[in-house]
Structure 1
Amino acid sequence: MVWHEETEFEGNGHEFFLFEDHTASWVDSFITALDKGGPVLSSAPAEVLDHLRACRPHQMRERAWLVMYYSIILSMVSSSDPTNQSTKRKLRYNLWLALNDPRLFLEPSEANIQALTMLACHVEEFTTPTLCWMLATTACRMLQALGVNHRRLDPQTRERRVMMFWHLNLLDKALALIFGRPPTFHRAMSREIPLPTLAQLLSSQAQHNPTKAPRLFETHHFYQKLFLTRIMADIWNCLYEDAAPDHSRIEVVNQELESWYRQALQLLEAAALAEKPFLDARNAASIDLELHSLSFMYEYLRILLARSSSHMRTQCIESSKRMLHLLEHMVSESGELYNGIDWQLLCGSFTPFLELFGEIVSNGKGGSQETQDALAAMEQLPVFLGKMSSRNSLAAKLERIAVVFVQHAKSLMHPQGMLFIFAPWTSQQATNHTFWAEDQASNDAIDSRIPAAAWPDPWQSAGNMLHWDAFFTHAIAPAISGQPQVHENSVQTADLETWTSNFFGDAVFDWMGWDSQDFDFNLDGT
């Protein structure tokens, strides 16, 4: 979590930073973002907007709107001006002050649910995997406490709650599969609570955005993602609630997933073909991004199923390659708020990445065409993380880890004369340095720079290092005295086989456990 040191703001006490020069444009951006978030998000009351325009945040009684305001503005600044650390630091401080109200977490209300969901999903400069999970879980519990489909609710409230449920259900199931934690909503709820119809989604969209033409593609895209949550619940049940993998059941669920994807893609491609001629370049690019995100999620879910079945190993590897190659299309240039959850992109991408790494560890010697293709797909991840690092502190850390894995995969494919270098270098720096010395003279030259006693051994202490979350932690360790850390790749075959077997049984990384041990963010985002 991004903590702040109170001593850094002694002169400000516990007052909000006001940003008078930016207030008018920021309030307009806030209104626009809420409109674009419909039907899930409600428009802000007039009283809230009056306080924001008059720079009176301390007078707002319902802090949920203040949390949403600073969440949206911080996300916007992070995308449009990522190097503006001073403004981002002050916005984070304001967000902490807005959150300093226990009613946000203890009193169920629709505004509180919206605020917690907004913060969990779209404020990468503020949240970590653990905080994202805790906020989303609290929001789901609040909705259960309020009631979703009860007869005592009037029709308008019931329809609004149903819409909130399906949005939260999508978040709940996605985070459960990414973080390996049980979902909050039981899968029976998605069978009992009806899906919103396309007519309801279009009608609700018109209420939030009456002056613009209906966004037909976005409506269809949102509906297909809501429908997918039912399959995601079946996938969770299939993978985690059975005592042992049921291969026949896995194949049935996989067929359901494939059937959904074929129909959804056909429908959305037709909607995109009809709508894109009437859009500007930015909105047309947003449609392309959403199409890629649909394929990205499909491949991810297929990998989770395929890696659990011994009969689907080939499908797992092929989907892993396709998913990683999709990353080059997954970075939004528009800076829009609703382009998906970054935890899905950052953490989910490591599942195919590590599947391919395990495949190279097992079969990589000699550099066959299959392993070359696997390596080419792996190389997409550090490039993607480098692009994301300006707006997400976790991406910067994960980029360094991905570089280490890629270089180690290369050393396994070409073991003769290779040196394995542990260095917290970015992918851009990696292209400007020679990681591998292919002759003994070069090896000796590198060896002379660092004492042998200082070399880290990634395979030492088998009880600690054969588990790949320990390898993650080791890969991100800072270099000694600012120099690249060099180690001869002398790992024994038996060690690799043991590590690989452990790896294949543990491909869902414990992001929240790793985050609590290794995240050390300061207020300035470092």
Structure 2
Amino acid sequence: MTEILAPYACDNCRSRKVACSRGRPGCLRCKDENVACNYSRSGVIRRNRKRKHETLVANQSSPNTPGGSGRPPGAANDSNLQSHLATDIAMTHERLNGVDYSKHIPLGALSSLSEACAAVWHDASEFEETGNGFFLFEEHTVAWVDSTAFVAALDKGRPLLNSAPLEVLDHLRECRPDQVHDRAWLVMYYSIILSMISSTDPTNQSTKKKLRRNIWLALNDVRLFLEPSEANIQALTLLACTVEEFTTPSLCWMLATNACRMLQALGINHRRLDAQTHERRVMLFWHLNLLDKGLALIFGRPPTFHRAMAREIGLPTLEQLYSYQSQATSAGAPGLFGAHYFYQRLLLTRIMSDIWNCLYEDAAPDIRSIEVASEELKSWYRQARELLEAAAVTEKPFLNARSAASIDIGLHSLRFIYLYLLILLARFSSQMRTQCIDSSKQMLHLLKYMVVDFDEPYISIVWQLLCGPFTPFLELFGEIVSNGKANPEEKQENLAAMEQLPVFLGRMSSWNSLAAKLERIAVAFVQHAKSVMHPQGTHAGEAAPGLSIPNGALPDPWPSTGNILHWDAFFNHAVTSPVSGPPQTGNYDAQTIDLEAWTSDFFGDAMFDWIGWESHI
């Protein structure tokens, strides 16, 4: 049915932009002036519009009618919606043409058009198409959900990760991801599965591509980013930490920052919180604080949590950390080494805050503050190493070979982090230059013990493992190419340490795609360092001895050093050119001056700007 609506004004009143009584056959104003009263339109044809609640009732009672939940999406439906929207736009334009704006008549017309737009935006078929867009993996789902990956990973993550509700597990087992209302659990589920596939079957690109799409679909809910909840915090943190197949440096940074802000919004030490919630929030804070400070020092971005928060919020006790069951003994006893390890890592976050503060808060690093932070770091490491070595000796006899090897990785990981932080401090002090070079060589030689898979509990941030070694790597590279009068034996030692990085990345690349990409960059630096040390021993298109070049054939020769005086040109060429040609010919001392100018600009802080240059990785 349709209704005939009287026009808003006659032609005479509309042209004069005055109010009209809209009478037939003549309005009052036209009668008083004794002029002809004409209407250019006989009326406005408008379709009968149901109210929103009537539409919802009709959709629920008749699922097969147009607009109902059972209607299959198609071109006819899209055409119908577009036709209705076009009619509403035309009608609104006519109703706004020549009316008296003083009476606010346009508001009603615009409101009608707004409802039409909302009907198109919130069409039920759009949600149905999104829900059915998940790849289901019916042949793998039961194994993935239960002991193989998802449930096991959540159990290992306790108390930092909560167990999934039974309803969520049932929906996942029955391949009904669209019925999981809290999308945070879908993000965690597909993130864990993608990490597992990347580690166990890295060449399975088809499955990994489908899982990445499922993660995007699960993230297609603004509540994940705007509604603070513990489940949302855990989902964002898990995605940022462990899923390098999906995240980029900037995305990792944004996810971690958002998770930290959500926890601040929820509150940690509020008196209204019950004891169990308070304890869980404290554990979440320290887990996020560990992530926050680690990413800040790796990516060169300010931390989210102020360092005062770590002193205001009490550390969890060792008893609370015993629930971390990643390293249980064969008799089922708590993993004491794991509890002590993470307790020492939490203590270290306070020192990391001080390191960031003394290096980046002021215009220039204060040498005295650097020395104080360095001594504080060394004191922490001595105590932590003694305690963890004693715990390892006590616990290893009760563990199987894999668990015992994991404890060794934990000890190496602790020293790895300590050396990295020491290098960050030492490179700003001329008095600690020798210590910086020695620590850089030690850290790179330590990489041979750090080849791990995604299931390793003592490697909490994949970015720390893969990106952190580039800081000592670039320190040694700068020492080789800028110090032309250095002892040849020292240069050879520095080069030998540098060669550990591409070897490490090559071994990690079998289950980590980011490592494979970074390996090409590391090879480019090593080859260029070799060409500087042995200018007659390396030629364009020919690999220097001692290092295999991936991906077969070599590209064009490395450009002349004089043309690479800034980060942009060098980095872009490093990505595409995994081998260098000979440096500039001529006087070696003159060449050294050019390299010093280059490295002075190139190594602003001897760190890659991973976020700024992620598109090249």
Give the TM-score, by structure 1 length: 0.85
- What's the counterpart of residue 174 of structure 2? 54
Give the alignment of 1:326-365 within 5 angstroms.
326-332=446-452, 335-336=455-456, 339-363=459-483
- What's the counterpart of residue 407 of structure 2? 287
The one-letter code of the counterpart of 1:518 is H
CA shift for structure 1 position 204: 6.9
SS of equivalent to 1:513 = coil
- What's the counterpart of residue 386 of structure 1? 506
Aligned: 1:518 with 2:616: yes
Listed as ranges, the gaps of 5+ residues in structure 2 are: 1-128
- Cα distance in 2 for partners of 1:235, 1:333 equals 29
CA contact (8 A) 1:365 1:412 kept: no
Partner residue of 1:19 out of 127, 137, 143: 137
CA-to-partner distance for each residue in 1:308-360, whole Å, 9 max, x for gaps? 11110011001000110111111115744763311111211100000000111
- Cα distance in 1 for partners of 2:131, 2:161 equals 32
The one-letter code of the counterpart of 2:362 is D
- What's the counterpart of residue 285 of structure 2? 165
Give the alignment of 1:195-234 within 5 angstroms.
195-202=315-322, 212-234=332-354
- Cα distance in 1 for partners of 2:580, 2:484 equals 24
Aligned: 1:509 with 2:608: yes
- Cα distance in 2 for partners of 1:334, 1:175 equals 18
CA-to-partner distance for each residue in 1:93-144, whole Å, 9 max, x for gaps? 1111111111111110000000000000001111111111010000000000
The one-letter code of the counterpart of 1:17 is F
CA shift for structure 1 position 26: 0.6
SS of equivalent to 2:406 = helix
- Cα distance in 1 for partners of 2:324, 2:536 equals 63
The one-letter code of the counterpart of 1:194 is G
- What's the counterpart of residue 457 of structure 1? 559
Partner residue of 2:224 out of 99, 104, 109: 104
CA-to-partner distance for each residue in 1:5-32, whole Å, 9 max, x for gaps? xxxxxx9995211112111211122111
CA contact (8 A) 1:358 1:503 kept: no
Partner residue of 1:138 out of 258, 264, 272: 258
Mark the CA change 1:455 to 1:324 in structure 2 (over 3 Å): closer, same or farther: closer
- What's the counterpart of residue 75 of structure 1? 195
- What's the counterpart of residue 90 of structure 1? 210
Aligned: 1:476 with 2:476: no
- Cα distance in 1 for partners of 2:547, 2:517 equals 11
- Cα distance in 2 for partners of 1:345, 1:456 equals 29
Mark the CA change 1:469 to 1:507 in structure 2 (over 3 Å): closer, same or farther: farther
Structure 1: 4+ residue segments shifted above 6 A: none
Mark the CA change 1:338 to 1:272 in structure 2 (over 3 Å): closer, same or farther: closer
Mark the CA change 1:307 to 1:422 in structure 2 (over 3 Å): closer, same or farther: farther
The one-letter code of the counterpart of 2:428 is S
CA contact (8 A) 1:64 1:111 kept: yes
Aligned: 1:248 with 2:350: no
- Cα distance in 2 for partners of 1:165, 1:340 equals 15
- Cα distance in 1 for partners of 2:182, 2:308 equals 33
CA-to-partner distance for each residue in 1:142-180, whole Å, 9 max, x for gaps? 000101111111111111001000000000000000111
- Cα distance in 1 for partners of 2:489, 2:557 equals 33
CA contact (8 A) 1:421 1:487 kept: no
- Cα distance in 1 for partners of 2:423, 2:486 equals 26
The one-letter code of the counterpart of 2:575 is I
- What's the counterpart of residue 592 of structure 2? 493
- What's the counterpart of residue 522 of structure 1? none
CA contact (8 A) 1:14 1:97 kept: no
- What's the counterpart of residue 5 of structure 1? none
The one-letter code of the counterpart of 1:360 is I
The one-letter code of the counterpart of 2:134 is F
- Cα distance in 1 for partners of 2:135, 2:538 equals 54
The one-letter code of the counterpart of 2:133 is E
The one-letter code of the counterpart of 1:459 is T
CA-to-partner distance for each residue in 1:224-282, whole Å, 9 max, x for gaps? 10110000000000000122221111111100000100111111111111111111111
CA contact (8 A) 2:194 2:212 kept: yes
CA contact (8 A) 1:473 1:518 kept: yes
Mark the CA change 1:455 to 1:421 in structure 2 (over 3 Å): closer, same or farther: closer
CA shift for structure 1 position 470: 3.5
CA shift for structure 1 position 490: 3.4
Mark the CA change 1:417 to 1:428 in structure 2 (over 3 Å): closer, same or farther: closer
CA contact (8 A) 2:188 2:239 kept: yes
Mark the CA change 1:387 to 1:53 in structure 2 (over 3 Å): closer, same or farther: same
Aligned: 1:64 with 2:184: yes
- What's the counterpart of residue 41 of structure 1? 161
CA shift for structure 1 position 478: 5.6
Listed as ranges, the gaps of 5+ residues in structure 1 are: 1-10, 436-449, 520-526
CA contact (8 A) 1:366 1:413 kept: no
- Cα distance in 1 for partners of 2:297, 2:498 equals 21
SS of equivalent to 1:511 = coil
- Cα distance in 1 for partners of 2:333, 2:258 equals 35
Bigger-Rg structure (1/2): 2
CA-to-partner distance for each residue in 1:27-80, whole Å, 9 max, x for gaps? 122111111111111111111111111111110000101100110011011101
Aligned: 1:405 with 2:525: yes
- Cα distance in 2 for partners of 1:427, 1:39 equals 44
Mark the CA change 1:429 to 1:510 in structure 2 (over 3 Å): closer, same or farther: closer
Give the alignment of 1:407-446 within 5 angstroms.
407-416=527-536, 418-419=538-539, 421=541, 428-429=548-549
Give the alignment of 1:300-339 within 5 angstroms.
300-332=420-452, 335-336=455-456, 339=459
Give the TM-score, by structure 2 length: 0.73
The one-letter code of the counterpart of 1:39 is P
CA contact (8 A) 1:386 1:427 kept: no
Mark the CA change 1:420 to 1:236 in structure 2 (over 3 Å): closer, same or farther: farther
CA contact (8 A) 2:296 2:302 kept: yes
Q: CA RMSD in A?
A: 2.7
